Amino acid sequence: MSSPARTPAPTEVADPGVLNGLSTLDRFLPVWIGAAMAAGLLLGRLVPGLDTALEAVQVGGISLPIALGLLLMMYPVLAKVRYDRLGTVTGDRRLLLSSLVLNWLIGPALMFALAWLLLPDLPAYRTGLIIVGLARCIAMVLIWNDLACGDREAAAVLVAINSVFQVVAFAGLGWFYLEVLPGWLGLGRGAALEVSAADIAQSVLVFLGIPLAAGYLSRRLGERARGRDWYEGSFLPKAGPIALYGLLFTIVILFALQGDTITSRPGDVARIALPLLAYFVLMWGGSFLAGRAIGLPYDRTATLAFTAAGNNFELAIAVAVGVFGVTSGQALAGVVGPLIEVPVLVALVYVSLAGRRLFSTAPKGTAHV
């Protein structure tokens, strides 16, 4: 979200002062995000009929303004990916296997356990949280990964893999965690989750396919016309801030849509927030330690951690609203997801940067979107 930082030599020890090297814009990102969340909540409370107007037109089950914000947010990050490096990522079996295990075995199971442990008396919220746990990352994680100096190419590959698995496995895992597993454990049957693979595929196509195609074409056409030095030295620094604007715009609109619900039910929000907070911290921390333990370099360890901890909140909200209704407890749990995820993962960006000192080499990428 600012000019690219110097890329250290491969043998250089990670700079423990990297946090001080961030631009003013990046260092105060939590402030901008907090202001955007507050602005959205105020808009939702003070402007009558705003939620109805914002929901009037939808794309892939998501409000059009949110869809536009997500596309703007993701495009600059995907435009920065060096697509000629993707082959080196797909050859890293440690990274790919670890990501699959963390995202599709550990992540849903952890959210299921936390939801039942901390919300045993609130079945609607519990179901909403389980849906959040099943919706693996495809959007904002690219922002957090880039800010944390993660491997952009690795993030693009893992997000693409998660998208494919989401289309294939989401409905089946929903059936398993909401109906089958509770019965096996003697907890009773939960609510059925009726969502088609076609609906999920549409969401993936819109929120990943469009910015991915635009980013790929930008790099190919830009490098062909003016060369890589111009593309990375002139074009990307100008396009980069769009990601921040898209992120903040998305947060404002998201919280404006649900501002009244969130502010009128603070006790429920607090109950939902606790398992979410535990989930994000445990998933990120466990994944970061796992990457370090299996010998991944810092940049790919950061990517592994953020892609495992992040969730596709737009899909979770769309499913909860479509199946249970916009005023349901399940939908509220989906909305509270980004309320907790955004500030927690922003904080973990700084934790991740501080953790670079645990690795012998600095990341391959740069620090900014």
Q: Mind listing the pLDDT tens digit for each residue in 245-289?
A: 887 887 788 778 777 767 777 888 899 999 999 999 999 999 999
Query: What is the structure's pLDDT at 323?
Result: 76
Longest pairwise C-alpha distance within the chain: 64
Tell the burial category of 327 from Cβ atoms under 10 Å away from its Cβ (0-12, 13-18, 19+): exposed
Residue 279: which residues within 8 A CB-CB, separation 6 or more?
A: 110, 111, 114, 133
Query: What is the structure's pLDDT at 119?
Result: 93
Q: Is residue 13 part of a domain?
A: no
Q: Which residue has the higher pLDDT, 345 or 313?
A: 345
Residue type, 90: T
pLDDT at 79 over 60: yes
Token pair for residue 90? 């797909």
Q: Please, what is the average pLDDT of the chain?
A: 81
DSSP class of residue 326? T
Q: Is residue 367 part of a domain?
A: no
Query: What is the structure's pLDDT at 127?
Result: 92
- Residue 30 sits in which domain range? 18-358
Token pair for residue 91? 């050859």
CATH number at residue 79: 1.20.1530.20
d(CA 19, CA 29): 13
Q: Is residue 365 part of a domain?
A: no
Number of domains observed in the structure of the chain? 1
Helical segments of 102-196, H only: 107-118, 123-134, 141-147, 152-175, 181-184
Query: Which of 89-98, 187-196, 227-236 is predicted least confidently?
Result: 187-196
d(CA 127, CA 194): 13
**Model-level pTM?**
0.77
Judge contact between 202 and 60, C-beta under 8 A.
Answer: yes
Q: Is residue 7 part of a domain?
A: no
Judge contact between 112 and 141, C-beta under 8 A.
Answer: no
Q: Is residue 292 part of a domain?
A: yes
